[in-house]
Amino acid sequence: MAQIPAAFIEEVRQKTNIVDVIEPYVQLKKSGRNLFGLCPFHEERTPSFSVSEEKQIFHCFSCGRGGNVFKFLMEIESLSFPEAVIKVAEFSGLSLPAEYQAAKGPSENQSATLLKQDYQAAQELYHHILMRTQLGETALSYLHQRQLTDATLEHFQIGFAPDQNQMLLSFFQVKQKETSELARSGLFTQTDEGKLLDRFRDRVIFPVQDQSGDVIAFSGRILQKPDPQRPVGKYLNSPETEIFNKSKTLFNLAAAKKEIRQQGEVILFEGFMDVISAYQAGVKNGVASMGTSLTEQQVYLLQRITQRLIICYDGDAPGLKAACRALKLLQSTSLEIGLVILPQNQDPDEFIKSQGAQAFIQLVRHDSLSPETFMIEYLSRQYNLNNDLEKVDYLNAALAYILPVQSPVQQELYVDQLAQHLNLPSSTIRQELQEQQKTQKILTPVADYGQNQAEKRSAPDHDQEYVGLDSVEKSERNLLNIVFHNPEVLQIIDKHPGFNFVHQQYQDIFDHWVRESLMNEHLTVAQFVDLVPADLRDLIVAIEMMPRPDNYLPEEVQDYITNIEQNKQRQQLQKYQVQVKQAKQIGDSQQELELTKKMIALSQQMDQAKSVNN
């Protein structure tokens, strides 16, 4: 297989801004010289993922991952290096020379790549059947009756699986696909005899993508009402596979990312049809969970790319209850939350059809409720407000959400809302609130809400410390950082014959840098990380991201070298001391004498160096 030429790789690197590639995955904010966000490789509450636009590298101070633009895509999308280069090139509008197209081979995670290819092929087949065949006419008519346009069907690549047991299986058998691959794909069910049958039959197919836009699963909606004698669920989702985990997946996230960033918020819906109807109405920043309750992993995906989330669930009792559960989960995050209560128990699709697209846009973008207002409204439906005892219970439950609010103006607004529900004077509610503030006897399921709001207002501290390093290792890192940007420092090091770093990984980095910089006098760290063994790359990026001044002093370099050399001398002195003791124990007086002489000479050398430095 032909390798991608180094000149093309460097052209791609130079013409790509790493920030543009990372931003679809991570919401970045400027802090000092770098940009920070929540790490996409592990869950965290305080941003420790740093991107240097100046140096074109990224580094997480918590998990230690780091690298250049190619390494980022390799890590987050499980790509090989050639695949990452090609994807970045396409992102930057650069065409790979035809003779190197063969480099588009399977990635290291070949099994996952094959499954994604299978889902992509199945999606194209199902979409073709819906839009261009007689088999799909009934389903297409149904979708048109739901007022979905062909443009919307094309955008979401919606398809149809006919009521045939082995239509998709035959399609893949023609492609000579391995049975074992098809069996683990989730596209088929298996009989007791081991026979494969199409999982999706007589269903409208909604493709589900991962955050990179690759199809990883399907959700199939039944066309006909279920037979009471043979109950079938309205929706059938793909089972979990090596490429699909429903708790970590959000429908439409990949397609909505750009709009989410432009709008500064995301709309969270309950179902796929809600997202699709909202898109057709002009609300294109909507996502939905996979038919289950919202999960922490899904929230984290959203938290990385936006600051504000609007919950727009169905307006009926189950929908409001689900919104309440989601709210409790979201209050432990830094997201600003809004909630929409749809009138007359409607779902978003019903509201859009009855009230129109503009009314829906106005509702979700401008008329969402704060969590406190939502809870005041939600709780009012859980109590019989014609009963005095239940009125008191409602009052206490609602006050639990008002009491943590710090703003007097907001508190006053919520008191007025509560007074209207109870048909009591606002002064009476306010007096009760003040009494509870004094005694702190609060009945609250979310007592930490006020604290979370305070945390949201606190700017994260991006001053990262390299803890756990002794003075020698700090010297090694600082010296390498200076070497990366100041080639002349090598001349200072050359004046110390036999100089070596104490720790082998730093010596390896130094040796690689010297060798590569001889071949490329303009070598950058962003280039360098592609030229070294994988086990050194994160450490190199960590060194490069150290908060150092732009300039250095020769005396500073000398201090680092001296500290490193003296440490090696101290280690040698300790080694001599052990050897002298061993020689004495076995009665080897000659060896004891020779080692003692070496020990004395080394001690004198160290004393002389110390007096010179002082």
Q: Is the dihedral of CA 331, 333, 334, 336 positive or negative?
A: negative
Q: What is the pLDDT of residue 608?
A: 64
C-alpha atoms less than 13 angstroms from C-alpha of 320 in its C-beta half-sphere: 19
Residue 103 has what pLDDT? 46
Residue tagged 């500290």 (tokens): 563
Whether the predicted pLDDT of 484 surpasses 90: yes
Q: What is the pLDDT of residue 511?
A: 93
Q: What is the largest CA-CA distance in the chain?
A: 104
Q: What are the start-end ranges of the E strands in 238-276?
A: 266-269
* More confident position, 135 or 471: 135
Report the pLDDT averaged over residues 368-397. Answer: 93
The pLDDT, as a whole number, for residue 553 is 87
Confidence band of 463 (pLDDT split at 50, 70, 90): very low
Give me the pLDDT at residue 102, please. Answer: 45
Strands 215-222 and 235-237: antiparallel
- pLDDT given at position 206: 97
Cα–Cα distance between 96 and 325 in angstroms, integer? 49
> Euclidean distance between the first and final Cα of the chain, in Å?
60
Distances (CA, A) of 183 to 216, 446, 498: 15, 45, 61
**Of 147 and 595, more confident:** 147
pLDDT band of 231, cuts 50, 70, 90:
low
- Give the type of residue at 122: A
Give the DSSP letter string of 201-247: -SEEEEEEE-TTS-EEEEEEEESSPPBTTB---SEEEPPP-SS--GG
Q: CB of 200 within 8 A of CB of 236?
A: yes
Question: Residues with Cβ < 8 Å from 548, sequence gap 6 or more?
Answer: 478, 481, 482
Phi-psi region of 56 (alpha: psi -120 to 50; beta: other; left: phi over 0): left
Reference 464, options 26, 50, 69, 68; nearest CA is 50
Minimum mean pLDDT range among 269-273, 501-505, 585-589: 585-589
Contacts of 79 (CB under 8 A, 6+ apart): 73, 87, 107
**The pLDDT of residue 609:** 60
Separation of CA 257 from chain center:
12
Q: What is the pLDDT of residues 55-97, one digit of tens each?
A: 999 999 988 899 999 999 998 887 888 889 988 998 888 877 6
CA dihedral for 316, 317, 320, 321, sign (positive or negative): negative
Distance CA 447, CA 328 (A): 11
Give the residue ranges of DSSP H helices in 440-546: 449-457, 471-485, 489-494, 504-519, 525-528, 534-544
Contact 574, 555 (CB under 8 A): no
Contact criterion met (CB below 8 Å) for 500 and 569: no
Residue 187 and residue 196: Cα distance in Å, rounded? 9
3 state DSSP class of 129: helix
Range of lowest pLDDT (20-29, 102-111, 228-237, 367-376): 102-111
Q: Are 531 and 516 in contact (CB under 8 A)?
A: yes
Distance of CA 358 to the CA centre of its chain: 33
Confidence of residue 611 (pLDDT cuts 50, 70, 90): low
Complete edge-to-edge strand list for the sheet that includes strand 215-222: 159-161, 203-209, 215-222, 235-237
Strands in 274-357 per DSSP E: 286-288, 308-312, 336-339
DSSP secondary structure code for residue 190 in this structure: E
Indicate the range of 16-20, 220-224, 420-424 predicted with least confidence.
Answer: 220-224
Lowest mean pLDDT among 333-347, 374-388, 542-556: 542-556
Strand, helix or coil for residue 57: strand
Other beta carbons within 10 angstroms of residue 35's beta carbon come to 23
Q: What is the pLDDT of residues 112-125, one digit of tens each?
A: 889 999 999 999 99
CB burial class (10 A; 0-12, 13-18, 19+) of residue 50?
buried
Instruction: State mean pLDDT over 589-593.
Output: 79
Whole-angstrom distance, CA of residue 433 vs CA of residue 427: 10
Which residue is listed with tokens 């002489």? Answer: 597
Give the C-alpha separation, 519 to 223, whole Å: 65
For 243, 347, 480, 586, the CA distances from 265, given in Å and listed in that order, are 27, 20, 42, 77
The position carrying tokens 């081991």 is 194
pLDDT above 50 (res 108) = no
Q: Which residues are 222's β-sheet partners? A: 203
> How far is the C-alpha of 446 from the C-alpha of 334, rounded, in Å?
15
Q: Are 15 and 85 in contact (CB under 8 A)?
A: no
Closest C-alpha among 407, 405, 265 to residue 336: 265
Rounded CA-CA distance 357/359 in Å is: 6
In percent, the amount of the chain with pLDDT more than 70 equals 88
The whole-number pLDDT of residue 362 equals 93
pLDDT digits (tens, 9 = 90+) for 321-352: 999 999 989 987 889 999 999 999 999 999 99
Percentages helix, strand, coil for the chain (3-state, rounded to 5) are 55, 10, 35
pLDDT at residue 471 in the model: 83
Q: Where is average pLDDT lowest: 317-321, 363-367, 553-557, 597-601?
A: 597-601
Instruction: Classify residue 78 by its DSSP letter.
Output: T
CA angle 23, 29, 35 (to 5 degrees): 80
Helices (H) and strands (E) in the chain, counts: 27, 15
Q: Which two tokens stand for residue 280?
A: 């057709």
Structure confidence at residue 44 (pLDDT)? 86
> What distance in Å separates the CA atoms of residue 516 and residue 150, rounded to the nearest whole number?
55
What local confidence, expressed as pLDDT, does residue 358 receive?
Answer: 94
Q: Which residue has the higher pLDDT, 610 or 337?
A: 337
What does the angle CA 495 – CA 499 – CA 501 come to, to the nearest 5 degrees? 140
What average pLDDT does the segment 423-432 reach? 92
Cα 444 from Cα 266, distance rounded (Å): 28
